[in-house]
Amino acid sequence: MLGNKLLAYIAENYLGGECQQFALDTPLLELNIIDSSALFDLVDLLRREAGVTVPLKEVVPSNFKSVQHMLDLVERLQSESRPALAAAAGGA
């Protein structure tokens, strides 16, 4: 599950492996678990693990407030790309 991969990645890279009391809704920015430079590492992780390209306009704190917000972003980007893929397949 992508949520578990994100939790494990953040715990390993930003919490020294500590993941007690760390959940999908933990406020990452508010608690200074991640900072703005970490957003681009997470964007790359979302690209690799979920197969989504996060446009620069979407790389904003509100989309990375928590792991759940990142999952919501991925779901939204995937749903937005489905009509485009269907149109491209229909036009071929």
Q: Is the pLDDT of residue 92 over 60?
A: no
The count of domains in the chain is: 1
- pTM of this prediction? 0.86
Fill in the DSSP letter of residue 28.
T
Give the pLDDT band of residue 36 (cuts 50, 70, 90).
Answer: confident
Can you give the CATH number for the domain in which 63 is found? 1.10.1200.10
Contact 13, 40 (CB under 8 A): no
Does residue 81 form part of some domain? Answer: yes
Does residue 26 form part of some domain? Answer: yes
Which domain does 47 fall in, by range? 2-85
pLDDT tens for 53-90 read 999 999 999 999 999 999 999 999 999 987 665 666 66
pLDDT tens for 40-58 read 999 999 999 999 999 999 9
Pairwise CA distance, residues 67 & 46, whole Å: 11
